[in-house]
Chain A
């Protein structure tokens, strides 16, 4: 397990002074990902258009200690793939001595939706890079519009909860599974760090693996957005914890095709534990909407059971039962 004291000595590669909202999870995610870079290794970071991008480099002030590039919304993966290609060519010619690592950050808008093609292409080509999606479940930069990562029932500005339609009518796309289907060396789903939990270092550990496993690797990080989720910033880590404990956002990794749960809640909490903390789901918990909550619970259960199968957990459980019966 990494040593928190040691890690806290590492200088932040995204400095303060950026203009993200108070309580935004994205800078925290960036700093934990980049903490996994070895000292001495340089990085080139590409950023899709979005909250992180517009708030971290307003000309002439940049908060980035590493080389950083933003070109457009839908193409962070293609952009970083070009930088990686140039690095390979220049390295081959002996023009560069240092080691560079290539990391792209995009929100769920730039990753699940408008940037999916560019992401898929870069991943399939196998550039030595990591793509990190900080998934906060809507287009927060333009004012909380629904994305394909938005949870069922969430109230957003383009899937508003009205008198007839109770928020978003579709379940979220499972991008982590889509990336796993690319048969990449390393794909993982994780959360912004929650101190005091067993998965506090989950993001750090997965970032280290993703950065230092050769090839195109992908991390999907559930990242809190107090504005979009309609929560107090002080409660956001409780919300992340609820996402994990209800199995709404399971923590797992897929290494060379092999699925592995990296955290299994001792007791799976009901989905209401996740819903009740957030203003965007408030309408779902009103009397008369019980069927919607049941529908969400059924989908969470279905996806969780499938993941347990993929991770071989069902076999493990069977074996444990068999062993205890002996």
Chain B
């Protein structure tokens, strides 16, 4: 039986880790994810888990140790943020290309420079092409749920890829919220007691991993990796269906909020979706046809599904809490607009970059975005590339 608890996002994820009882957790502290290894090392110290906790000297070594441990056949986890994720960069790609399921709690924080400890999505957006599955969550409940599902998704025989559980630093990681936690036995039964590795350094015939892979084979290996990411879309939904049976909580590739008959829609990630939903409710109360799409799965990218979901709107604002410095909109914007091409043509699609470095996003700002969309629908005049909540 599930129980109601009040936990911060970090504590909820650390509890998920405890319930999973992985073989290895290797981590290095960085705000705002630090609490996760802190809580977890206490579970180790108290004998509540049988995990080997490896307190490495850097995030590069954290991911390297995770790779060694997963290659050995273990179930492996870590947590990081911002510059920590950036220091892992090289190893993120190697983890994915080595087809090692590793679960990473990515507590979103603005990437330096300048240094800033608060929330935006520049860290995980930068890692979007590293070959990791990326799940995004609005609140502590979703961070907890996604973390448990991540294990099962990554370890699926058709996937064998690492997974990031992304949620907002401080807003989700530190705020205490009410959530429903599964029983330990339910979590263990859901993810399975041990990881079943198709090949491993330990406990099987000797294997060599991490070859020099020259032109005759490299391309085929990358192609297989791409196929695994395609498979992940199906597996994510299968795991979500199983999770729904257990918890009653429904997860998809993205959440559609009041999208039926919506004319103006916002596409957004993580905690700001909560703020935007409040705006949707108040504008709906005024009779305005507004809706929202909160992307949960950014990698693999649900291109066809998003295009379908946006096929009936007149205007879409894609809100990015990261700039890609392409001078042509934020990263979510470019992908959403590309997904719509040829599938949902003739729409107004605009980019709004907001909240960088932890700048608060208010309901007024989001209301302004919806008003801009209605003005664009009425007049046909609009700016494609916009910043909101910044002094110009």
Binding site for B on A (CB under 8 A): 42, 44, 46, 53-54, 57-60, 62, 64-72, 74-75, 78-90, 92-93, 95-96, 98, 100, 117-118, 120-122, 124-125
Contact = CB atoms under 8 A, between A and B. Distances in A.
Given A44-B202, A121-B56, A125-B54, A71 B208 contact: no
Contacts of A68: 201, 206-209
B322 to A, nearest CB: 26
A65 B207 CA distance: 8
Given A82-B71, A84-B68, 15 more contacts: A67-B206, A67-B207, A71-B67, A78-B56, A78-B61, A78-B64, A82-B66, A83-B69, A85-B74, A86-B70, A86-B73, A90-B74, A118-B58, A118-B60, A121-B56
B23 interface: yes
Interface string B20-47: 0001101000000000000000000000
Contact of B68 (A42, A62, A78): A78
B211 A96 contact: no
A23 B354 CA distance: 61
Contacts of A59: 211-214, 217
B65 interface: yes
B203 A96 contact: yes
Contacts of A53: 212
A81 B201 contact: no
Contact of B26 (A62, A82, A95): A82
B72 A82 contact: yes
A87 B23 CA distance: 9
A160 B250 CA distance: 65
A105 B159 CA distance: 31
B194 A95 contact: yes
Given A85-B52, A86-B52, A125-B54, A46 B211 contact: no
Top-8 shortest CB links A-B? A82-B68, A121-B57, A86-B74, A82-B65, A70-B210, A78-B64, A78-B61, A82-B69
B61 A118 contact: yes
Given A72-B91, A96-B203, A118-B64, A87 B209 contact: no
A193 to B, nearest CB: 25
Contacts of B209: 68-70
A310 to B, nearest CB: 27
B351 to A, nearest CB: 36
B60 A75 contact: yes
Given A82-B26, A86-B74, A72 B64 contact: yes
Contacts of B203: 90, 95-96, 98
Contact of A85 (B26, B194, B212): B26
A81 B54 contact: yes
A304 B312 CA distance: 81
Nearest to B74: A86
Contacts of A75: 60-61, 64, 91
Given A44-B201, A87-B72, A88-B52, A60 B217 contact: yes
Contact of B24 (A85, A122, A124): A85
A139 B61 CA distance: 22
B208 A100 contact: no
Contacts of A86: 23-24, 52, 68-70, 72-74, 76, 202
Interface in B62-90: 64-74, 76, 90
Residue in A67, A98, A117 whose Cβ sees the most chain B Cβ within 10 Å:
A67
Given A59-B214, A71-B94, A89 B206 contact: no
Contacts of B274: none
B302 interface: no
Contacts of B211: 57-60, 62, 70
A117 to B, nearest CB: 6
Nearest to B220: A59
Contact of A69 (B26, B57, B71, B212): B71
Interface in B172-199: 194
Contacts of B362: none
B50 A85 contact: no
Contacts of A64: 206, 208
A69 B57 CA distance: 21
Given A78-B61, A85-B69, A89-B23, A62 B208 contact: yes
B202 A81 contact: no
Contacts of A65: 206
A90 B211 CA distance: 26
A125 B57 CA distance: 9
B57 A89 contact: no
A58 B68 contact: no
Given A71-B98, A89-B50, A118-B61, A83 B202 contact: yes
